[in-house]
């Protein structure tokens, strides 16, 4: 038993020691052998270029004129589902996405919405600075027909 523990310990020390070989031998200038790298492990996980981020907000105006923030609790779905089913299609020009969202929101409201707005702020970070682009889409249902 003691003899096998010694061999296992020796193999563990050897495996860990082999990780140091590339450092000792200075394999190349840009070392790429894990776990000791000369730069961050995920440095090249994205191509170089601007970093783009978005902030999306849904809001609405009720029949009494009160502004409300629309979140996943008021829709009854997770924000990922709201984004996939309603927001992204609306941004891509789907003309049925906003009416479907409007119907989903007004299913159980005592003070129904008369307008919904989607505000998108796109932040772009480059070497020269930060740029912000704002876009607002709104939807008001056509109320010319009888209720």
Segment 85-119, tens digit of pLDDT: 999 999 999 999 999 999 999 888 888 999 999 99
pLDDT of amino acid 74: 82
Judgement on whether residues 27 and 9 belong to the same structural domain of the protein? yes
Judgement on whether residues 13 and 72 belong to the same structural domain of the protein? no
pLDDT of amino acid 76: 86
Tokens 């590339």 belong to residue: 22
What is the extent of the structural domain holding 59?
A: 51-139
pLDDT of amino acid 55: 94
DSSP lists the bridge partners of residue 113 as 62
Q: Does residue 144 lie within any of the structural domains? A: no
Q: Does residue 146 lie within any of the structural domains? A: no
How open is the CA angle 53-58-60, to the nearest 5 degrees?
155
Q: Which residues of the chain have pLDDT under 50?
A: 38-39, 145-147
Q: Does residue 147 lie within any of the structural domains? A: no
Judgement on whether residues 120 and 77 belong to the same structural domain of the protein? yes
pLDDT of amino acid 45: 62
Judgement on whether residues 85 and 69 belong to the same structural domain of the protein? yes
Judgement on whether residues 23 and 85 belong to the same structural domain of the protein? no
Q: What is the DSSP string of 54-96?
A: EEEEEEEEETTS-EEEE-HHHHTS-HHHHIIIIIHHHHTT-TT
Q: What is the pTM of this model?
A: 0.62
């Amino acid at each position: 038993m003691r003899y096998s523990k010694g061999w296992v310990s020796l193999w563990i020390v050897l495996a860990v020691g082999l990780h140091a070989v590339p450092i000792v031998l200075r394999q190349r200038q840009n070392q790429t052998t894990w776990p000791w790298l000369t730069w961050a492990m995920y440095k090249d996980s994205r191509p170089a270029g601007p970093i783009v981020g978005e902030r999306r907000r849904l809001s609405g105006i009720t029949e009494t004129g009160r502004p409300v923030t629309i979140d996943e609790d008021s829709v009854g779905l997770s924000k990922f589902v709201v984004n996939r089913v309603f927001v992204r299609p609306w941004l891509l020009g789907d003309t049925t996405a906003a009416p479907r969202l409007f119907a989903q929101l007004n299913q159980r409201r005592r003070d129904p919405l008369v307008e919904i707005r989607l505000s998108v702020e796109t932040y772009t970070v480059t070497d020269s600075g930060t740029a912000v682009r704002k876009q607002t889409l709104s939807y008001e249902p056509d109320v010319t027909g009888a209720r």
